[in-house]
Amino acid sequence: MYLSIKDISKTFTTSFTRKKVLAVKDFSLSIDQGEIFGIVGPNGAGKSTVLKMLMGFIRPDRGKISLLGKHPGDPNSRKHVGYLPENPYFYDHLCATELLRFSALASGMPPHKVKSQIDRLLKLAELESAKKRRLRSYSKGMIQRAGICFALVHDPDVVVLDEPMSGLDPLGQKMVVDLILDLKKRGKTALFCSHILSDVERICDRTGVMVQGRLRKVLQKSDLLDQENSVRIIVDRQTPELERKCRESDWAIFTESTHVTITCPGEHLSEALTLCGREEVKIISVDNTVNTLEQIFLKTVKEAES
């Protein structure tokens, strides 16, 4: 296995109350060479903690991690890995070219290959015109794109990306998708976390759903195609009766900042619409489709939290 995680757990202690918080519990995962694996989960599920343990930045309380057959902290494995943290921070007095040159040389890339690789990545990231500007003048989206280039500049065999599409506009998100698909074409291995489920569904060979520190499901692409038809209803708000009925009928319900998503079997559509009318919630849309990663994700979260 290119990447192996076996039964890792991690508990943190809060600074003031000294309360113990379980961040990751009994997490196991193996990824083969050339595989693209995505991890999705609600905020606080432990996704970033898993990636930090994989990179050797924090140690698990128990369990074992192998990266390219070695310990995560081994320099011989680290030079073959590219990493983008959730909130990248770089020396802001550097320009993009200086940042990428530093990363490439520090990772052992032959000096004669550095310039062409930097030019290629800056072009893909649409940062060519800003490559001599100091990073302190970059927007959040530009910093994110520079961070992705930073993770890829030394042409690593394994790429670990924590929320790579954070802060990016739709064009920037498409750029990240294209870069990850290019990694797959070249036989590279990638592990990343993302909240953009449609992109994860499209580009990943397998997807893990993580809730409350545990890996609850691992889905193949075929798992998404084999699901039975269901209905997704999006309404403007939630009511106590709506939530009660969803739980009673085993319908998935998920509240977001701007809307509420209800997923139920197609034969329950009439009953669900009647309930929405009785509760006087505004129906934004109704979709009758094959189950998507989003629907499976919502159901998994609901089952884990009940």
Residue whose C-alpha is closest to residue 100's, from 78, 85, 87, 115 = 115
Pairing of strands 20-31, 3-13: antiparallel
Predicted local distance difference test score (pLDDT) of residue 252: 81
Hey, how many other C-beta atoms are within 10 angstroms of the C-beta on 155? 16
State the span(s) of the chain assigned CATH 3.30.70.1150: 229-289
Hey, how many other C-beta atoms are within 10 angstroms of the C-beta on 262? 27
Predicted local distance difference test score (pLDDT) of residue 150: 96
Please report which helix (H) or strand (E) contains residue 124, including its range.
helix 111-124
Euclidean distance between CA atoms 73 and 1, whole angstroms: 17
Predicted local distance difference test score (pLDDT) of residue 227: 53
Reading the block at residue 118, the tokens are 């930097």
CATH number 3.30.70.1150 given to 229-289: yes
Please report which helix (H) or strand (E) contains residue 44, including its range.
none
Reading the block at residue 214, the tokens are 């545990």
- Look at the block and give the residue holding tokens 């680290």: 78
Reading the block at residue 239, the tokens are 């009511």
Q: Residue 197 — φ and ψ, nearest 5°? A: -65, -35
Q: Residue 159 in contact with residue 136, Cβ under 8 Å?
A: no
State the span(s) of the chain assigned CATH 3.40.50.300: 3-220
The DSSP line for 180-217 is HHHHHHTT-EEEEE-S-HHHHHHH-SEEEEEETTEEEE
Predicted local distance difference test score (pLDDT) of residue 290: 55
Each residue's pLDDT, cut to its tens digit, for the chain (306 residues) gives 689 999 999 999 887 778 899 999 999 999 999 999 999 999 899 999 999 999 999 999 999 999 998 988 888 888 899 999 998 989 999 999 999 999 999 998 999 999 999 999 999 999 999 999 999 999 999 999 999 999 999 999 999 999 999 888 888 898 899 889 999 999 999 999 998 888 888 889 999 999 999 999 999 876 765 455 678 899 999 999 999 998 888 888 888 778 998 988 888 999 999 999 999 999 999 987 655 787 788 888 888 877
User: Which fold would CATH assign to domain 3-220?
Assistant: Rossmann fold (3.40.50)
Predicted local distance difference test score (pLDDT) of residue 193: 94
